[in-house]
Amino acid sequence: MELMYDGKTKQVLRDESSGDYYLFFKDSATGEDGVFDPGYNTVGGSVAGKGQAGIAISKHFFEVMQANGLPTHYLGADIKACLMKVRQVDVPKLEFVLRYYTAGSMCRRFSLEPGIPFDPPYLEVTLKDDEQGDPLISERICLMKGLLEPGQYDECLDLLVKAGAILRGELQAMGLELIDFKLEFGFGSDGELYIADEITPDIWRVKDADGNIPNQIDCAQIILNKI
C-alpha cells in the first residue's frame, strides 16, 4: 500500500497493484491534553480499538445513506483490518457544517448560549486549515481560490441537508439528539458529488436523554451497542 495522505485519525492508502483506494482508521482521537473532543483540531491521545469502532460505525451509516439514495464514496469495509475501500474522488479542503443547536465554536464566536435550536438548520462552510483555525469561507472565496466550480457550493449544501435529516433520524432512534455535524464531499471523475471521508462520532456532537454530551469515544460505544 502506498501512503497518499496521513491525517489525524485516518490515512489514505492506494493499492499499487490494483489502483484501489482505502481509508485506514487509526486509534488516535482528537482532543487536547488527554481530553477527547471531536471539535478539536489536535490529537488528544490514542484509544485501543477506536479504529475498528470507527470503521464499523462508518460502514453502517454510509450504507444507510446509500439505502436512502444518497451518493457516497464508500465501496466496502474490512473491519478487522480497519480498512475502508473508497471511490477515488477529488476532495476540496472544505468542511460543510450543519447545526441544529448552538454549540462549540459558534457559541465562542458569537457569544451565544449553547443549546439554542435552529429551525431550519444553520449551515456553515469552513476552510480546512489548522494554522488559520479553520475559518469560515463563502462561496465567492471558494470560487476565487479554485476550490469549487460554480454551482458546487449549493450542491454540497443541498446534500448536507439531506444527509443531516437521515443522520438525525437514525440517531434519534438510538436515543441520541444530533446537535451538529460536519461532512466532507468529493467529486468523482464523472463530475458527480459524493459524501466522502467518514460518518462517525468524530464528526458530530450529540446529547443523550439526560442532556449529557458524550465524547466521541463514549458515543461510539453507545452506537456500537445499537447497530
Q: Find all residues with CB under 8 Å of 14, minimum gap 6, and list them.
A: 1, 2, 4, 20, 21, 22
Digit-coded pLDDT (tens) for 105-147:
899 999 999 999 999 999 999 999 988 989 999 999 999 999 9
User: CA angle at residue 195 from 164 to 148, to 5 degrees?
Assistant: 105
pLDDT of residue 41: 67
Which phi and psi (to 5°) does residue 116 adopt? -75, 125
Exposed (0-12), middle (13-18) or buried (19+): which is 192, by Cβ within 10 Å?
Answer: exposed
Digit-coded pLDDT (tens) for 200-225:
999 999 999 999 999 999 999 999 99
The Cα–Cα gap between 80 and 59 comes to: 12
**Max Cα separation, the chain?**
53
Digit-coded pLDDT (tens) for 32-71:
666 666 766 666 677 889 999 999 999 999 999 999 999 9
pLDDT of residue 77: 97
Digit-coded pLDDT (tens) for 171-186:
999 999 999 999 999 9
User: Is the whole model's pTM more than 0.75, yes or no?
Assistant: yes
